[in-house]
Amino acid sequence: MANIKSSLQDVEWSEKRKSRNRSAKARMRTFYKKVLTAVEAKDLPGAQEALRQATSVLAVTARKGIIHDNAAARHTQRLNAKVKGLALAVAS
């Protein structure tokens, strides 16, 4: 453990950031799973609403630097593809 006051502060801040980041990532995964659940249940309106919310949460998580911008874009693209596939399946 650190002995210098500024090092102790760094450790405290690091723990706070770690906790905040974990919480944000868990929230992101929750919204991601809501879309997947709605797609599996073939609930198109629910999937579209969940996609809208998940896209927003992914963008905020990336903007805050918790995940990389490209990772957020990749997740968004994959979710969007699943919802579009569901829309095509329901339409035909």
**Structural domain harbouring 81:** 5-91
To the nearest 10°, the Cα dihedral for 84, 86, 91, 92?
110
pLDDT confidence of residue 45: 96
CATH number of residue 17's parent domain? 1.20.58.110
pLDDT confidence of residue 69: 97
Alpha helices in 1-66 (DSSP H): 5-40, 44-63
Domain count of the fold of the chain: 1
**Rounded CA gap, 58 and 67, in Å?**
9
List the chain pLDDT tens, one digit each, 92 residues. Answer: 678 999 999 999 999 999 999 999 999 999 999 999 999 999 999 999 999 999 999 999 999 999 999 999 999 999 999 999 999 998 87
Is there a contact between 54 and 6 (Cβ–Cβ < 8 Å)?
no
pTM for the complete prediction? 0.86
